Structure 1
C-alpha cells in the first residue's frame, strides 16, 4: 500500500523549492494543524524524501499550558538561521515537567517544523511553504489518546481550546499552501 502522506509531501516540497530561500540560504516548511491530525506523518514523509531535519513543536511547548511559549521559542531558532548562524531551542521534558537541554539547529537547505503553532502568522516571513493537516475531531482525539495514553486525556479539552483560539487568530488553515485531510 502506498503511504497517503507521500503525495502531499511531494506537493509541499515542490512548492517550497519553487520559492526563494527564507532562512538565509535555506527554506522552512511548516506543518501545522490540530492535535492528532497527522502532522508528524506528513513531516516524516517530507524528511524521508529530503533528509531534512524535523523540529517537533512538542519539544518547544512549556507543558500543557505552553502553546504560546512554544511558538515564541521559534524565534530563537529562526532569527539566527536567517543570518546564517545556528539557531537553538530548549527542549521540554514532559516526564520531568521542565525544560532540559538546549538543542542546536545548524543552517540547512531545508528545515521542517511540525506541530500546533508551527505556522504562526508572526513568522510568515520565514516560512517558505505551509501545510495544514486536519481530521475529524473524534478521529484526532482517538489518535492523540492512542499516541500519548491517558496522560493526554485530562488535557485534551483545554489543549483543543487553546489551539482553536490560536488557529482562529492566525487564520492558519486559510494561509496554507497545501491542505491535507486525513
Structure 2
C-alpha cells in the first residue's frame, strides 16, 4: 500500500548508524495511515514499533488544564520515561500500554533491543520528544478523506466524537507547535492518493 513512501523512507535511513537504535517517528492526522505505514516499515526494517495510542492520558491525568495544552492529550512524560530513555540505553526494557476500553494500564510488554525503532501516532513529534529521533515523518490527509476513513473504521457515531473532540485537539497541536515543519519527510493524501 505504501510502496513509494517506504522507498523514500528507506533511502533516508542509513544501513549502518552510530545510533542503536535509529529512531523513526511517524506523526500526523488521525486516519492518515500512520499505523499502516509503521506496520509495513516493520516488514522492511529490524525494528520495534511503539504506538502513541498506548500513552494516552489516564482518567486521573485528564484535567482541564492538561487537556487545554497543545499536545496535552498524550502522556509524553511516561512515554519518555518508559520508552525513549530505555531505548537510548540499547538494552531490553518493558513498558505498560494504556488501554482505552478499560481506561487503565495493561500488563508490561517486554522489548528486546533492535537496530531500529519506529514510533507512530499523533503527538509523537511533540517538541519534548522530537529531539530524540533521527528521522521525523508527518502524514496528512484531506478532511473529507479523513472523515471517510474514520467512518469506515469506527462507524458514524464514533466518527462524530473524532470530528468534535479528537480532531480539534490534534489540529491545535499541529498548528500551535508547528509539527509539520519540524519533520524531515511529509506525505499528504487526497482521495486515497499521495499528492
Match 2:133 to one of 123, 127, 131 = 127
Distance 1:74 1:144 in 2: 26
The secondary structure found in structure 2 opposite 1:53 is: strand
1:40 aligns with 2:42: no
Structure 1 alignment gaps of length 5 or more? none
Distance 1:159 1:132 in 2: 18
Distance 2:45 2:87 in 1: 19
Distance 2:178 2:21 in 1: 25
Structure 2 vs 1, CA of residues 81 and 33 (structure 1 numbering), >3 Å: closer, same or farther? same
1:161 aligns with 2:168: yes
Given that residues 124 and 130 in structure 2 are in contact (C-alpha distance below 8 angstroms), is that contact kept between their aligned partners in structure 1? no
Q: Which residue of 2 aligns with 1:13?
A: 10
Match 1:68 to one of 68, 73, 82 = 73
Distance 1:145 1:120 in 2: 27
Match 1:54 to one of 49, 71, 89 = 49
- Root-mean-square deviation (CA), in Å? 2.4
Deviation at 1:86, TM superposition (A): 3.1
Q: Please identify the structure whose Cα radius of gyration is greater.
A: 2
Alignment of 1:70-149 (within 5 A): 70-75=75-80, 76-149=82-155
Distance 1:175 1:100 in 2: 32
Deviation at 1:63, TM superposition (A): 6.4
Deviation at 1:131, TM superposition (A): 0.8
Given that residues 89 and 104 in structure 1 are in contact (C-alpha distance below 8 angstroms), is that contact kept between their aligned partners in structure 2? yes
Given that residues 24 and 135 in structure 2 are in contact (C-alpha distance below 8 angstroms), is that contact kept between their aligned partners in structure 1? yes
Given that residues 34 and 139 in structure 2 are in contact (C-alpha distance below 8 angstroms), is that contact kept between their aligned partners in structure 1? yes
Distance 2:133 2:93 in 1: 15
Distance 2:149 2:25 in 1: 21
When normalised by structure 2's length, the TM-score is: 0.79
